[in-house]
Amino acid sequence: MKSSIGLALLMGLTLSLATTVGEQGEEPVDTFMHAKLAFSQSILEGLAVEDYDQIAKNAQSLTLLSEEAGWKVVQTAEYAHQSDLFRRNTRALTEAARKHNLDGSTLAFVQVTLNCVECHKHVRGVQQARLDLPHPLPSFKVTQ
């Protein structure tokens, strides 16, 4: 039941962000990143005020968000690995919050944050490599 409520909230937020962000001309990936940032900020707030329900709810939302098809930015083994680590870390964060373990929640959030930084570094590297590829040769039309 809680999972379906969380999924409904996630989809509502994503749709809301998509509408707002779509009007600003951003890509669907940007919508996911803004949602991820909003959930992360709410987790940090929950840690600061020791609101375990807020931490757990937003960590679970991050996990659910990472399972959506729009999450996949690049198709590399490293990206798949980073996504798996992200899900593992957000699940650990959810579990620590449910146990009312502030130190464990804080450590898990640091792991999630480090994972985000590593993954973004990887994606930027892949995108840069694509830009560095030599341009294809122009096609030549064969005349008879």
Question: What CA–CA distances, in Å, run from 91 to 16, 84, 109, 136?
Answer: 25, 11, 10, 44
The dihedral built from the CA positions of residue 92, 97, 99 and 105, taken in this order, carries a sign that is positive
> Which tens digit of pLDDT belongs to each residue from 74-100?
888 988 899 999 999 999 999 999 999
Question: What CA–CA distances, in Å, run from 102 to 105, 123, 124?
Answer: 5, 31, 33
> Which tens digit of pLDDT belongs to each residue from 13-61?
444 444 443 444 556 677 878 899 999 999 999 999 999 999 999 999 9
Determine contact, residues 13/38, Cβ cutoff 8 Å: yes
Q: Which domains does the chain have, with CATH numbers?
A: 2-132 (1.20.120.10)
Question: What CA–CA distances, in Å, run from 113 to 8, 11, 109, 117?
Answer: 25, 23, 6, 6
pTM: 0.71
CA nearest neighbour of 97 among 54, 133, 127, 129: 54
